[in-house]
Structure 1
Amino acid sequence: MSDLKGQLTLRGVVVGCVGCVVITASSVYTALRMGALPWPIIFAAIVSLFFLRAVSRGRSTLNEANVTHTVMSSGAMVAGGLAFTIPGAWMLGLADEISALDLAVIAVGGVVLGLVGSVLLRRHFIEEEGLEYPIGQAAAQTLKAGDAGGATGRRLFGAMGAAGLYALLRDGLGVIPSMLAALPVPGVAFGIYNSPLSLAVGFLVGTGAVLVWFAGALIANFGIIVGAPALGLCDVATAQAVVSSLGMGLMMGCGVAVIARDILPRGLAGARRAWAARRDAAGVVGLTAASAASARPAPGHARRRSAGVAALAVAAVALAAATVLGLPPAVAAAVVLLAFVAAAMAAQSVGQTGIDPLEIFGLIVMLLIAAFADVAPARLFFIAALVAVAAGLAGDVMNDFKAGHVLGTSPRAQWVGQAIGGVVGALVAVAALEALLAGYGPDAFGPGRDFVAAQASVVATMVGGIPHVPAFAVGLAAGFALYLAGFPAMMLGLGVYLPFYLSFTGFLGAMAKVAWGRVGAWRRRGMAPEERAAAEAADEERGLIVASGLMGGESIMGIVLAMIVAGGALLS
């Protein structure tokens, strides 16, 4: 437990849980009212650092603040997983078939699956693949700048203030538009999202990855949605169905490949090593009890015990899904297994783009189950919500792990903090949803209503099945093969599926990074090699700090505006 000391503290847990309640409740309202959910991680990092410094009289550490913000931000994605799926059932008149107990089982079960999945994924994506995780990096830079101050702090918080003011003018006051250069292209959401955060994501992710992302968007939107109807091959609606199914298939195939190639072999190898160690220790003749005990490696024993606990937790979720939620046992087992695939998809998507389309992952699994099993409509929403919560929490945990990797925080301390915050957030999210349903009624949810619940509306529309099964099958096979070949299939799939304006804005952010590099190279002309290398590193750091500040400012303002709107609704 030495790695928890000084990082996971009682004061940190208390501060984190109080913040988790506020952020989770506002996240439920924001997701339903605005159809969006900004990452709360950077907001939570600043609040955690401020309050810890206040209650500890300046004696808290960055690692304690990092673990505290992990607790505080945990419930937001749990709230998103429920809010982006369950209201779709209310829109279809199924509110009476969903109880508060059902929602609690879904929320807590999704938290458990997301936590277990993050344990399996952390080393691969954080240490071996070294994915960017721009949101996690931004949180780490925010904590470092808040602790150090000076020029770095001024640079980061200056960018943060500018982006926050911009978001206020756009979302709070409506002074500036949210979309620029919008064109009426049939079937294509063409435009530039007027978002500093989206530009910063493209800047931080890396030019090569963003080019693949943008290539997927070009192929899908102009090659298929525009091109196919122009050639007389199909109408726009059919082309859109092909694109959405192809994108889902690419992402699912990539997620399956991650599990098959990178996760399962490591787990099986670890199990074989543990079994061999146990067999060797038991087979040594003449050893005393003490020497036999010492021959068995303690770390292997700890790993086996952890694996056993994880297996029991997963089995408990499957049992709860089968009994409380009324899913057939085979379906419950399949959902649990596919939730791990979704967690891998979310971890890779967040690591490469900073985007966690958790409702898409829930939708993919729901459609797969619906294609092969006869499941009642309300139970299909249970499946989508359970997977969406697991994928959302996995993405959030991996962001936190990235911040911890940068700051040197104990992964175990962060994981325990995430577990505490995840359970608190699950209960708060369920209570918030139930309160909104009781206060407004099911007719308040849907397009043109008080709560637009855009993502849940899509889920409700898709309950009928996969829009274009052949395209999904092609995408599934292609995603699996491309990942095994070393191609970033997840980035391609996201480009195919996401609205074009998001991909275009990310591409412009990557081009801004290219321009930044060119300007820096021009300024470094004539320098000595050592001086040039130092100046290049300084330029890269400045770009990282400013981009992190832009991300943080917009996300913080999004949370603040959500709290204002939610508070006003409660008072009225």
Structure 2
Amino acid sequence: MELKPYIPPEKSLPEYTVKAFVLGIVLSIIMGAANAYLGMYAGMTVSASIPAAVISMAILFAFKDRNILENNMVQTAASAGESLAAGVIFTFPALVVLGYYTTFPYYIVTIIAALGGSLGALFTIVLRRAFIAEEKLPYPEGMACAEVLIAGERGGSHAKPILYGGIFGGLFKLFGSSGLWSGTVEAAKMVGSRVYYLGSDLSAALIAVGYIVGLNIAFLVFLGGAIAWFIAIPIYAGQMGHTDLGPLDLAWTIWSTKIRYMGVGAMVVGGLWSLIKLRNPIRRGIRAGLEVAKRKQSGEAILRTEEDLPLNYVLMLIAAFVVPLFLLYFHIIGSVGIAAIMAVILLIVGFLGSSIAGYLAGVVGSSNNPVSGITIMSLLFTAFALKALGLSGMEGMAATILVAAVICTAAAIAGDTMQDLATGYMVGATPKRQQVFEMVGTFFAALVMAPVLNLLIQAYGIAGTPTAKENALAAPQAFLMAKVTEGVFTGNLEWNMIYIGAGIAIALIILDEILAMKGSKFRTPVMPVAVGIYLPLSLGVPIFIGGLVKHFVTKSRNEEGENPTDPGVLGAAGLIAGEALMGIFFAALIVAGIAPSSGFSSNILGVILLAGIALWLYMTGRRK
């Protein structure tokens, strides 16, 4: 049965308005900055579409001439900021890890972020009809956002959970950063020659992430951590023999120098499997998109809700965006030939990566989209290609990361674009207008990426680098990109660990296929487990707790599947935004030398307050 949009195609409402433009830009910048912090800290970001939609509804409620399509344009632009942040923080900090940069040049970050992200939006245009209208992929966050927008026609009351969540998340981060409790509660113990570790970050945002992604994904992230910290690290420590390191230092050293490469192997296999699984849907998507373009060129009437940007405009814009990137690469590398090959790689691999990201967003949502896995695959291909062309050392590694940065931002924006277009498909938006607003949000968010990254680097630093401060950010994906690139150019990759991770991924793929054949609700996608192996266990624990909270909320409401208007999701989004924005604010205080510090510290107090936030999230989620 064909879905009937909330606003029928025959009806036309204002979508391009001054209110939507200004609010979309402001929220894009805020969401981008907040998620840059969250991604550097936890290695993941969450979709900003629903929070942006709720905030937009609350603000636009004051205007009499508001409409749902205007709200949809706001969330389209705003969510681009969050997705762009993911693409930027997954790659650019790798250049700090490698020692190529100590701070981020504004023009390089801005050009790559703006043009790479916009390419991602353009690459998906020929795929929209096939993936959304014909394949009918669920696009869970896109459909949830549409439900929130439709429900929001009743008024702005949905903003309360996100407001309270923002206050709680911000205050919890403020108290923790002031020294009232440690960022992580952890302990390690030697049992014979083996070391066993247990720890948890005290973070409201991570509990919120677990709530949003649900128990299945949250458990798999924790499972990855358990494989690394409860099995692999003790076994490796037992083989090392005597060491002068204490238990905590030993566990962290083994994980950071050896075990996390298992996550690399798992991600590479997961990315290749995604390519294999998606080859036919991508082919159908391209064919369907081109067919619609031909119909329009022949003069056939196309419904407003089926109008994409014209194909000739798309091709011209792609060329207009690739040429400056080619010139930037030439400026950095100094070789026309190599710069041209870098541009060709980003075009071909960027389109494939964006297609995969757009499809997977329809299956697992934007928040769970394995953009880092797609980027690792493109990074390996680029690194081997540039090495074969004679690039070596720091020049080769930097060139590889700069190509991967374009592909990563393109893939991140591609997934978000498809999610937003799915929302538009339900509410009756005009696709071509959303596609333009996606690029508008991308361009404006790109303007603040470099300043935010520089602020975070100066205030916290990146763990494992000379920039690291006491509360250094993990930046796990960026660290991964740096080490994989370095390994290719030096020939010193931890291949044994990568092979073990690949074996784990193959086992998970087989199990997932068996579960799919049996129709099981529980599935075992590779990427969450791979991320869990690569991230510290202390991040996986609160994510798992958040997943449990969501599970108990679902049970208490006697629901089957997701509730798209779950107030707990809005509360969780508020917790994330509050903690992330306070983290950036505190970073500014640290850089200015005026950060507050308490003379009292109690981890027990932090645990109790975090439990209280989890309870509040549970009670919020139970509300009808």
Give TM-score scaled by structure 2 length: 0.67
Q: Distance in 2 between matches of 1:501 and 1:350?
A: 29
Deviations 1:330-357 (A, max 9, x none): 3432233223343355452695262456
Q: Contact 2:267/2:530 (CA < 8 Å) preserved in 1?
A: yes
1:330 to 298, 318, 341: 341
Q: Distance in 2 between matches of 1:440 and 1:166?
A: 23
Cα pair distance change 1:546/1:438, threshold 3 Å = closer
Three-state SS of the structure 2 residue aligned to 1:68 is helix
Tell me which residue corresponds to 1:164: 166
2:578 to 533, 544, 557: 557
Cα pair distance change 1:265/1:469, threshold 3 Å = farther
Per-residue deviation at 1:260?
1.4
> Are residues 1:20 and 2:20 paired?
no
Q: Contact 1:120/1:263 (CA < 8 Å) preserved in 2?
A: no
Per-residue deviation at 1:212?
5.7
2:441 to 385, 398, 421: 421
1:251 to 254, 270, 275: 270
Three-state SS of the structure 1 residue aligned to 2:403 is helix
Three-state SS of the structure 2 residue aligned to 1:94 is coil
Three-state SS of the structure 1 residue aligned to 2:310 is helix
- Residue correspondence of structure 1 range 27-42 to structure 2 within 5 A: 40-42=48-50
Tell me which residue corresponds to 1:48: 56
Deviations 1:279-315 (A, max 9, x none): xx9xxxxxxxxxxx66x6768xx98983444344445
Cα pair distance change 1:239/1:229, threshold 3 Å = farther
Q: Distance in 2 between matches of 1:346 and 1:434?
A: 28
The one-letter code sitting in structure 2 at the alignment partner of 1:352 is: V
Tell me which residue corresponds to 1:306: 310
Per-residue deviation at 1:382?
0.7
Per-residue deviation at 1:464?
1.0
Three-state SS of the structure 2 residue aligned to 1:463 is helix
The one-letter code sitting in structure 1 at the alignment partner of 2:270 is: M
- Residue correspondence of structure 1 range 315-464 to structure 2 within 5 A: 315-326=319-330, 327-344=338-355, 346-347=357-358, 348=360, 352=364, 354-355=367-368, 358=371, 361-374=374-387, 375=391, 376-405=396-425, 407-430=427-450, 446-448=467-469, 452=473, 454-455=475-476, 456-464=478-486
The one-letter code sitting in structure 2 at the alignment partner of 1:337 is: I
Q: Contact 1:343/1:391 (CA < 8 Å) preserved in 2?
A: yes
Per-residue deviation at 1:329?
3.0
Q: Contact 1:182/1:191 (CA < 8 Å) preserved in 2?
A: yes
Q: Contact 1:28/1:433 (CA < 8 Å) preserved in 2?
A: yes
Q: Contact 2:271/2:373 (CA < 8 Å) preserved in 1?
A: no
Comparing 320-329 with 200-209, greater Cα deviation is found at: 200-209
Tell me which residue corresponds to 1:526: none
Deviations 1:60-106 (A, max 9, x none): 02321121132234234324433443344345453499865543431
The one-letter code sitting in structure 1 at the alignment partner of 2:57 is: L
Tell me which residue corresponds to 1:72: 78
Comparing 321-330 with 214-223, greater Cα deviation is found at: 214-223
Q: Distance in 2 between matches of 1:423 and 1:142?
A: 26
Per-residue deviation at 1:499?
4.3
Deviations 1:144-175 (A, max 9, x none): 5654359xx4xx55544553344234311115
> Are residues 1:8 and 2:30 paired?
no
Tell me which residue corresponds to 1:532: none
Three-state SS of the structure 2 residue aligned to 1:465 is helix
Three-state SS of the structure 2 residue aligned to 1:324 is helix
- Residue correspondence of structure 1 range 136-285 to structure 2 within 5 A: 136=142, 139-140=145-146, 143=149, 147-149=153-155, 153=157, 159-174=161-176, 175=180, 179=184, 190-192=198-200, 194=202, 198-199=206-207, 202=210, 205=213, 218-219=226-227, 222=230, 224-227=232-235, 240-268=259-287, 271=290
Q: Contact 2:91/2:401 (CA < 8 Å) preserved in 1?
A: yes
Q: Distance in 2 between matches of 1:489 and 1:453?
A: 21
Tell me which residue corresponds to 1:525: none
- Give structure 2 stretches of 5+ with no counterpart: 1-8, 242-253, 331-337, 517-523, 594-624
Q: Contact 1:100/1:434 (CA < 8 Å) preserved in 2?
A: no
More helix as a share of residues: 1
The one-letter code sitting in structure 2 at the alignment partner of 1:14 is: V
Per-residue deviation at 1:210?
5.7
The one-letter code sitting in structure 2 at the alignment partner of 1:266 is: G
Q: Contact 2:268/2:376 (CA < 8 Å) preserved in 1?
A: no
Per-residue deviation at 1:418?
0.8
Cα pair distance change 1:563/1:214, threshold 3 Å = closer
Three-state SS of the structure 2 residue aligned to 1:414 is helix
Three-state SS of the structure 2 residue aligned to 1:173 is helix
Q: Distance in 2 between matches of 1:394 and 1:489?
A: 21
Q: Distance in 2 between matches of 1:18 and 1:333?
A: 34
- Residue correspondence of structure 1 range 473-484 to structure 2 within 5 A: 475=502, 478=506
- Residue correspondence of structure 1 range 78-93 to structure 2 within 5 A: 78-90=84-96, 92-93=98-99
Q: Contact 1:362/1:386 (CA < 8 Å) preserved in 2?
A: no
RMSD of the TM alignment (CA)? 5.0
The one-letter code sitting in structure 2 at the alignment partner of 1:418 is: E
How many residues are aligned here?
530
Q: Distance in 2 between matches of 1:336 and 1:479?
A: 33
1:114 to 103, 114, 120: 120
Q: Distance in 2 between matches of 1:53 and 1:459?
A: 44
Q: Distance in 2 between matches of 1:112 and 1:64?
A: 21
Give TM-score scaled by structure 1 length: 0.72
Cα pair distance change 1:416/1:550, threshold 3 Å = same
Per-residue deviation at 1:325?
0.8
Per-residue deviation at 1:394?
2.6
